[in-house]
Amino acid sequence: MSGELKRGLEGVLVTESKLSFIDGDAGQLVYCGYDIEDLARDASYEEVLYLLWHGALPTGEELDAFSDELAAHRDLDDGVLDVARELAEQDESPMAALRTLVSAMSAYDENADFEDVTDREVNLEKAKRITAKMPSVLAAYARFRRGDDYVEPDESLNHAANFLYMLNGEEPNEVLAETFDMALVLHADHGLNASTFSAMVTSSTLSDLYSAVTSAIGTLSGSLHGGANANVMRMLKDVDDSDMDPTEWVKDALDRGERVAGFGHRVYDVKDPRAKILGAKSEALGEAAGDMKWYEMSVAIEEYIGEEKGLAPNVDFYSASTYYQMGIPIDLYTPIFAVSRAGGWIAHVLEQYEDNRLIRPRARYTGEKGLDFPSVDER
């Protein structure tokens, strides 16, 4: 097979999309025409979901109805809760647990086996169920593994606040709820990243929405994709435990040939715009708590890596300290990424179904040819 080899499909155009635009040189991210800074400041996660799924921002009446529908789907069937308890007892990793639980959710969705997997209206109903229940299954699993009971959802709270309520058993204050809502908005979509492409490949076979989201979760679990935010926080804790100056710790790590988590991106050549927004939130949380340690440590590392390596931080770098200051366990960072990105995965799958073609690339064969087949006695 002739043609230029594109390792990792870098720079290869495989589809057209109206969902998100990234300018890596300018550090710009756009959802359906709206700049991410504006959405992070002014839009709720529910509004962003509606925008991604419908291509336009909702009116006040549409937003109220949409939010109510999502809230009504949050509670979990007893069978799903039983699976969550078993996974917690087996000490399954959070991402593996989330993958299994989303797959299990399909057994309790009356539309899961609908014959036409491309039917948009049916898929929108599935989408609401999946997106509403993913925070619930994650919170349930997290509580079960620490020996706590399931907290039923509160339909009076929005998507972000309800997750924190179900996770911790108490309603979050306004600052925490708004910060988490902003984090969900920032992670909702990001072009054809690896997990989104995985969901599209699955749906291109005319597999169903649950299968596509489950595929995406498996892809996001890798350390080169969603696992980076947890690695950033583990690094910051190692720096703190060492009692070393952050820049000296990083210099030693680089001298040992280690990679500093949270820097560089396949798309951005400048600072990730989401990192700018979350950096400001991390600073605000530190000021509110009277402890600027994690923010100041992060800034020192960012400045050093920028000067020495010419690399800028990505979204994972500041989401780590933001989540940590909110009291969220480190191994839940990547599952929370999935909880948010589910909205974007679903939006891309809906687009894929609208004009579907099986995604089937080819590989250049580099093995041998023309070998004579030996009998088993001759091998």
* Catalytic (active-site) positions: 265, 316
Helix H or strand E segment including 236: helix 228-242
Spatial distance between the Cα atoms of 160 and 168, rounded to a whole number of angstroms: 13
Give the pairing type, strands 20-23 and 34-35: unpaired
Q: Tokens in use for 36?
A: 């991410």
Q: What are phi and psi of 331, to 5 degrees?
A: -75, 0
Spatial distance between the Cα atoms of 334 and 142, rounded to a whole number of angstroms: 13
Whether the CB-CB separation of 92 and 142 falls below 8 Å is answered with no
Spatial distance between the Cα atoms of 310 and 300, rounded to a whole number of angstroms: 14
**Three-state secondary-structure class, residue 63:** helix
Q: Which contacts of 147-156 are long-range, i.e. CB under 8 A and separated by 24 or more positions?
A: 150/76, 150/81, 152/75, 153/71, 153/74, 153/75, 155/68, 155/71, 155/72, 155/74
Spatial distance between the Cα atoms of 365 and 349, rounded to a whole number of angstroms: 31
Whether the CB-CB separation of 342 and 214 falls below 8 Å is answered with no
Spatial distance between the Cα atoms of 367 and 103, rounded to a whole number of angstroms: 37
The residue written with tokens 């989330």 in the block is: 98
Q: Which amino acid is at 94?
A: P
Spatial distance between the Cα atoms of 306 and 171, rounded to a whole number of angstroms: 39
Closest CA to 270 of 11, 12, 26, 17: 26
Q: Which positions ≥6 away from 113 have C-beta within 8 Å?
A: none
**Three-state secondary-structure class, residue 237:** helix
